[in-house]
Every structure is written in C-alpha cells, then in structure tokens.
Amino acid sequence: MTRALPPDLKTEPLAAHHDRVRFTCGIDSLDQYLQMYAGQDVRRRANSVFVLVDQHEPAGVLGYYTLCATSLSQGDVPIAARKHLPRYPLVSATLVGRLAVAAGRQGQGLGTLLVADAMRRAYASAYVVGSSMLVVDAISEQVVAFYEANSFARLSSSSLRLGLPMAEIGKLITR
C-alpha cells in the first residue's frame, strides 16, 4: 500500500513556482481550490498543501492533497478503531481535506502514491501535534471505494467520511 514514489516523481509543499492555473482533474471544486484558494490557505496556515511533480517538469502539478488538524466525537469513531484511540470526548485527527490527480494522469496509481505520502506525513507529525487518526471526506461512493482500497474504513455506514488510526498507519508504513 505505501509504495515509494518512482525516482522521477516527488511530493513537495505548494510554492509560488508551481503552475496551479493549468491544473485540472475534472472536478471543478478541486480544480478551483488549487487554482484560487490553496496559496491563501498555505499563507494563513489553514491547510498544508502538497503537490506531486515530475522532477523533469518541476512547475507542473500532477496531483495534490491537503492536510489540516481536526477532531471527531468519540461516538463518530467505529468501535473497532476505538481500541487504538484515547478515551477523550473529542479525538484529535489529521484531515486529508482534498486529494486530486491531473486528468491526463488518472488511472496510473498516482492517487495511491498521494495517499501513501499523506499517511507518512500525518504519521510523522502525529507525535508533534497529537493526532490519533487520519480522516478523509470522500465526495462520492467511487471515492469511498478508492479510500477503502487504501485501508481506510467508513466512520459510519451512511457516511462519506472515512478514517484510519495512526496505529494502523504505523504498521502499513513499516512494511
């Protein structure tokens, strides 16, 4: 699951040199976020934005994801996942708020590479900011299936929100 990036690809924090204007994934809200709002969020420290680039074209954005802090009610966490979490009323978590792959590069496994990178970054920062799980908000049932294939589980049967405890991520990234 946590495949390493091919040597010609890398993820890095969003910076001024990245060509956000030409990015398109086919979902207007995800395109508009990167094109118009991601830079503001980074400056305001509202989200961290990471982009996937080809080292031969470092300005081109092949995909991106965002990370930020969030919390969940203990009751929103599935019983099976609670054994990995503290028993506080609110559970600290890291949210993958958005994840997108450029339209011309979809179906090549780049989304899975982005999820794996997000897992590694969230796990590494969990000891610094205190985070018990990684959470994602899927925008459709198709996206739910993608995250389920990447080890996430729905927080409730009717929800598009999924989670993965940091304890499980630790096992995945050390394989």
Structure token pair of residue 33: 């976020």
CA-closest candidate to residue 150, choices 95, 104, 109, 90: 109
DSSP E strand stretches across 6-146 = 9-13, 48-54, 63-73, 90-101, 133-137
Based on the residue annotation, tell me whether 65 is a catalytic residue of this protein.
no
CA-closest candidate to residue 132, choices 50, 73, 44: 73
First to last CA, the chain: 9
How many residues are listed for the chain in this entry?
175
Determine which one of 33, 64, 123, 147 is catalytic.
Answer: 147
C-alpha dihedral (113, 12, 167, 140), degrees to nearest 10: -50
Active site residues: 147
